[in-house]
Structure 1
Amino acid sequence: MWINYVKAGLLACVLAPLSVAAQDSADSAEALSPEETITQALAPAVGGASQLGPVRPSVIDGLYSVQIVGGPTLMVTPDGKHAVVGDLLEIAPTGFTQVQDPYLIDARKDFLAGLSDDETINFKPEGETKHVMYVFTDVDCGYCRRLHNHMHQYREKGELKPGYSDLGIEVRYLAYPRAGIGSPSAAKLESAWCADDQQAALDKLKAMQPVDQKTCESAPIARHFVTGGQLGVNATPAIMLPNGELHLGYRPPEDMVGIFAQGE
């Protein structure tokens, strides 16, 4: 899976077969649109066209953007011969800020807006909910457990710090078993979603305790996994915000307050 590669290694893996595929299709490239040319060049490198999101013009003039399902977003030349992977930064007098794909921003907003109340496992603050963050989680992920352990007040390096709940942040979990559908991790997540007390089951799993194995047709594990990969999720925890921003990796509760403030 794409998430098992570091960016440098991933770029090498993509570019080598990409160049070969582009060369093989050079004779017919002139008759194709840039979108078709890029898809034809990339598909053999990533395991088929089904592993690619739509190809569309990027925020950089002359380059096209394509999301690899469960992997990175690539910036690709119109001839499909070269690609760049990595964070896109905006240069400003105050420093650098990461640029997120406008297409994916809108797609994430639509996905989150369409979620039903029973599709996520929610941990609400005891008081007022000031912010909501959606977290793609895997119960066998160390940093996912760390995030869950910081739901309430916690101690770090001798200092008592507020948890997400203490800061008015509601955490809504979505499922993302990194080992894929059909894995033991996916089965554990399904047991949590099918449990009579979902929050208690997830608490136990995050504490590496067993729960009763359950299956149910309503469990959204596969949908969350596939859609997450299409929307840029390739690691856990992955924090998706209602404004469409995606933040990969663990973020401390107090850092999240600052992130929410920037997005307002």
Structure 2
Amino acid sequence: MKKNFNIRRKQAGILSAAALVALLSFGNSQAAEDAATIKRVQDGIAKLIPGEKPDSITESMVPGLYEVMIGPRLFYVSGDGKYLFNGKLFEIATREDLSTPKISLAKADAITKAGEGNMVIFGPEDSKHTITVFTDIDCGYCRKLHSEITQYNDLGIRVRYMMYPRAGVGSASYTKAVSVWCADDQKAAMTLSKSGKPIDEKLCDNPIVDHMKLGELLGVTGTPAVFLSDGELLPGYVPAAKMSAYLNGRTNQ
């Protein structure tokens, strides 16, 4: 009996070893297939959007469809690299938007990477809320928003400004944005300029063009464009009290 037991034990050991080899072989094969799929997706993106390198490529909720993030832009590409879908993906049963939350987080990350050293900021760091506003000195609703800047701050809302002169580089609005940035007191110059009063025209190294490029990348089409801390975009002027109620409502959800 003992001999038979030993034989069975050896056979079991052989089977276990064989199963392990098979498992490792399957794992290696799967890893190779995954790598090949990612390569096909990368090649497909490269053909359609030359010079763009994906920040991430992950499987989506749809079999055979991959999510490709390039900065704050989200694309869906088939696993064979032949088809690209540029739009939102919804789960029909729940009607859940699966795309927007990911895009918003990517936008928030892009704004964070711009750095607060490249923004004109009103309000203390320990404010309850922080919003980032792409603004145009000559935009009427931008001026209306800034006329309430003290109310925003008093309601616990910190406002970070980035410049977005809609008339483009070289315009009067662009010159004013540069002058505000280069002023000895940026916040005072911003307030004066937005109230329609002249400020000294100045030149210096500035991030205004970078602000404009970032705004375009984030989908800014008008000003003021307000981004919340999670990347949600609120286009247009929002009164301070209404903004506070909205932000506090989100916090309490």
TM-score band by shorter chain is: 0.5 to 0.7
Deviations 1:63-120 (A, max 9, x none): 54456x8xx94544435555344x6667797x8678535366256347426724x432
Match of 1:122 in 2: 121
Provide structure 1 residue ranges, at least 5 long, that are not aligned to the other structure.
Answer: 1-29, 44-48, 153-162
Query: Residue 174 of structure 1 aligns to a residue in which SS?
Result: strand
Which of structures 1 and 2 has the larger relative contact order (alpha carbons within 8 angstroms, sep 6+)? Answer: 1
141 and 54 in structure 1: CA distance in 2 versus 1, 3 angstrom threshold: farther
Match of 2:233 in 1: 247
Residue correspondence of structure 1 range 1-264 to structure 2 within 5 A: 33-42=40-49, 49=51, 54=55, 56-57=57-58, 60-61=61-62, 62-65=65-68, 73=73, 75-78=75-78, 79=81, 81=83, 83-85=85-87, 100-102=100-102, 105=105, 108-109=108-109, 111-112=111-112, 115-116=115-116, 118-124=117-123, 129-152=127-150, 163-217=151-205, 219-230=206-217, 232-235=218-221, 236-242=223-229, 244-250=230-236, 251-253=238-240, 254-263=242-251
Residue 214 of structure 1: CA displacement?
Answer: 0.8
Residue 204 of structure 1: CA displacement?
Answer: 2.8
Residue 263 of structure 1: CA displacement?
Answer: 4.7
148 and 225 in structure 1: CA distance in 2 versus 1, 3 angstrom threshold: same
114 and 83 in structure 1: CA distance in 2 versus 1, 3 angstrom threshold: closer
Could you tell me how far apart the structure 1 residues matched to 2:74 and 2:111 are? 22
Could you tell me how far apart the structure 1 residues matched to 2:210 and 2:219 are? 13
Asked if 2 retains the 8 angstrom alpha-carbon contact of 1:42 and 1:80, the reply is no
Could you tell me how far apart the structure 2 residues matched to 1:146 and 1:91 are? 41
CA RMSD of aligned residues (A): 3.9
Count the aligned residue pairs: 208
Could you tell me how far apart the structure 1 residues matched to 2:174 and 2:119 are? 15
60 and 39 in structure 1: CA distance in 2 versus 1, 3 angstrom threshold: farther
Query: Residue 100 of structure 2 aligns to a residue in which SS?
Result: coil
Asked if 2 retains the 8 angstrom alpha-carbon contact of 1:37 and 1:80, the reply is yes
151 and 226 in structure 1: CA distance in 2 versus 1, 3 angstrom threshold: same
113 and 103 in structure 1: CA distance in 2 versus 1, 3 angstrom threshold: same
104 and 185 in structure 1: CA distance in 2 versus 1, 3 angstrom threshold: same
Could you tell me how far apart the structure 2 residues matched to 1:98 and 1:255 are? 26
Could you tell me how far apart the structure 2 residues matched to 1:178 and 1:80 are? 37
Asked if 2 retains the 8 angstrom alpha-carbon contact of 1:190 and 1:215, the reply is yes
Could you tell me how far apart the structure 2 residues matched to 1:121 and 1:249 are? 19
Could you tell me how far apart the structure 1 residues matched to 2:140 and 2:61 are? 36
Query: Residue 234 of structure 1 aligns to a residue in which SS?
Result: coil
Structure 2-normalised TM-score?
0.62
Deviations 1:3-42 (A, max 9, x none): xxxxxxxxxxxxxxxxxxxxxxxxxxx9x62232134224
140 and 59 in structure 1: CA distance in 2 versus 1, 3 angstrom threshold: farther
54 and 178 in structure 1: CA distance in 2 versus 1, 3 angstrom threshold: farther
**Which amino acid is the alignment partner of residue 225 of structure 1?**
M
Could you tell me how far apart the structure 2 residues matched to 1:38 and 1:140 are? 39
Residue 171 of structure 1: CA displacement?
Answer: 0.9
Asked if 1 retains the 8 angstrom alpha-carbon contact of 2:141 and 2:224, the reply is yes
Greater C-alpha radius of gyration = 2
Could you tell me how far apart the structure 2 residues matched to 1:146 and 1:201 are? 16
105 and 204 in structure 1: CA distance in 2 versus 1, 3 angstrom threshold: same
Structure 1-normalised TM-score?
0.60
Residue 151 of structure 1: CA displacement?
Answer: 2.3
- Aligned identity (percent) is 31
Query: Residue 213 of structure 1 aligns to a residue in which SS?
Result: coil
